[in-house]
A and B are shown apart, each in its own frame.
Chain A
């Protein structure tokens, strides 16, 4: 399966009379977009555009998406929504690079995150470096949380899809081509290189901790094989409200760095044969079933090693270790990417589970480390959520608008796909 990904560099985003891409700027017709996003579940929707360096704080952030549009090849971006579930990952896709679509709204109340566009907090999120179209949606009275989550999820997908149309006829600044062949061909393409696969664990703890594959709730799937390029077309989207620091936003899924970095070395010093996606269900039976099934699929790929990325912490640490143990038992080497919850002093045990076979770990950092965020000129959203969001605490938000909070509350801070340079080491 081969995909050409065309990056269109976005230098600015502005509201304008017509939604289009012109001279490096994405113009968005505000009223037209608001009309499309109008929803019986929302009492109010507002749109804002923020730039890197702005004295703006956005909270609580639900999801971050990237505008992408399918130019050629089967299916459409975010398959399984909008009535089309055809297979994606081939042909050509355009990406508006340098901007995001961001959804904001108090859903669970204690799981969404903060994005600061400037100041010390900006160091900890990748989204302080992108131009963000922020959609704040307030829900109507009486709406259930899961209905609100679904409504906001669909809002983000619709908005990203709408904005992405501006890229349809734009000339990409850069085109990259990615190809994975069917397994038997792929195994023979680079016979002398070590064969590697990627085990992609997805958050599926339920109760608004969910992820969707071609529109299907990943809680209900058995682990399965995917071509890496399918992910680039939005086959996996985020529906979860878990701790902001290690939640994979839809943007993270679209820009999966493990897939990027494996492709970068594909044919050079490794052969990247494909992706196995699996879930993180909460029952022991499901955990055993999924990890055994994953190990079986990995064995069938005849690989020398796998990278396993986790999403979330605590309960899914058990899944991570099960996947590791069972795959290592097959003689296949593993490297795990996870983050840590070592307490505010960094002295507690970082993971809830462990095993001597998990001897190769890359860390996204200690999520419990605290940070002082200065007051910000403008707040988009509802800032008092800070007092209760995970990583926040009663009194986290001070009278002057400054905040002391764990980096757990910052969107993407300790991402377990290895998106960031931040990690943790032993002192």
Chain B
């Protein structure tokens, strides 16, 4: 029987090229397995062989999604594969986005099954779980030993053309598709059982997880703006020229705090945008367009506001996970509270 051919997609780190400093490498391929591909091969059945690996830098991919996806798809096609396996990406946001996008493109162009693995909070999961099977993994590479067999198992079921069960049964991230099934008991009996579990404080599993609509209650308005201390916070990625803290162009892993004492206007010599999710030309020409320091200094002068806080906070909101957004917001909020700021103007793109 002919062997089943697998191609494995990896980023620069797992592809053993380098760390962040090599995140800009362009896509290339090589024969056989690389890095975690070796462990993955061991978990696959005897007649299933990883014939090639395609590697691409996360930054390069996320800043050139279309061209990178095209190039990678061609490289993958060159191996005449029966299936593509990408990652696992765990909680690495840019890697997750790349794995999802590569899987989607390859599936569409080459019509072969594809599968990847991610932590459920990876922005790539939210983005691609409806298009691509994503095996649920832990949130860091420390869980590689568990992730590899899980990824291999689902890959085999897919390439053998087996009909997959529900996300809970098979261990992939729920794709948000509801399918009718016949349970052993009628609905009313299931309801009585569930109610007793809930009353007793036992674990129960709802048959329909409610979609979550996060709502934030607004605070009451500032009564007198002319006395208020305001601060600027942005997810639009405005940073001092050179991006000294290396905030990532997407899936930012941090935020920055920058001193604007004496700064009345942001110029193209002094500030820039790090955000990879919008055309940077106009923001680079005049960063006030995203972070309105000039307008607020003007209002300060006119005594329309009390004063502008001398530090602003910035991160990049492109592909930032909800969990990380919450984390940064809490941290920034705490600091501004200490500084006795009355109000925050939050700009985004």
Chain A residues engaging chain B, CB cutoff 8 angstroms: 194, 196, 257-258, 260-262, 265, 269-270, 304-307, 333-335, 337-338, 340, 342, 345-347, 349-351, 354-356, 358-366, 369, 407, 415-427
Contacts and interface: CB of A to CB of B under 8 A. Distances in A.
B202 to A, nearest CB: 11
**7 A-B pairs with least C-beta separation:** A418-B187, A418-B188, A257-B188, A346-B178, A342-B178, A335-B195, A361-B208
A204 B190 CA distance: 26
A216 B75 CA distance: 72
Interface in B149-194: 164, 166-168, 174-192, 194
Contacts of B166: 425-427
B267 to A, nearest CB: 46
Interface in B190-204: 190-192, 194-196, 198-200, 204
B208 A421 contact: no
A257 B179 contact: no
Contact of B183 (A338, A340, A422): A422
A351 B209 CA distance: 11
A426 B190 contact: no
Nearest to A351: B208
A345 B179 CA distance: 9
22 contacts: A194-B196, A257-B189, A260-B188, A305-B199, A307-B191, A307-B192, A333-B199, A337-B191, A359-B206, A361-B208, A362-B190, A363-B207, A418-B189, A420-B186, A420-B187, A422-B182, A423-B187, A424-B180, A424-B181, A425-B181, A425-B207, A426-B168
Interface residues of B, number: 39
A169 B185 CA distance: 34
Contacts of A340: 178, 208
B288 to A, nearest CB: 40
A295 B186 CA distance: 27
A270 B183 CA distance: 23
Contacts of B340: none
B182 A421 contact: yes
A358 B178 contact: no
B211 interface: yes
Given A262-B192, A426-B177, A427-B178, A257 B187 contact: yes
A427 B185 contact: no
Given A337-B188, A347-B176, A422-B183, 10 more contacts: A194-B199, A265-B192, A304-B199, A305-B198, A347-B178, A358-B210, A365-B180, A417-B188, A424-B178, A424-B181
A269 B200 CA distance: 11
Contact of A261 (B189, B211, B213): B189
B323 interface: no
A345 B210 contact: no
Contacts of A351: 208
B130 interface: yes
Contacts of B181: 422-425
B275 to A, nearest CB: 30
B2 interface: no
B22 to A, nearest CB: 38
A64 B204 CA distance: 35
A365 B181 CA distance: 8
Nearest to A126: B186
B212 interface: yes
Contacts of A361: 206-208, 210
Given A333-B195, A418-B191, A424 B179 contact: yes
B178 A366 contact: yes
A368 B213 CA distance: 24
Contacts of B204: 360
Contacts of A305: 195-196, 198-199
A423 B206 CA distance: 12
B160 to A, nearest CB: 18
Given A337-B187, A418-B189, A427 B177 contact: yes
Contacts of A419: 186-188
B208 A363 contact: yes
Contact of A335 (B186, B194, B211, B212): B194
A426 B210 contact: no
Given A424-B207, A425-B166, A362 B178 contact: no
A322 to B, nearest CB: 15
B211 A354 contact: yes
B210 A354 contact: yes
Contact of B175 (A260, A262, A366, A427): A427
B45 to A, nearest CB: 25
A418 B198 CA distance: 18
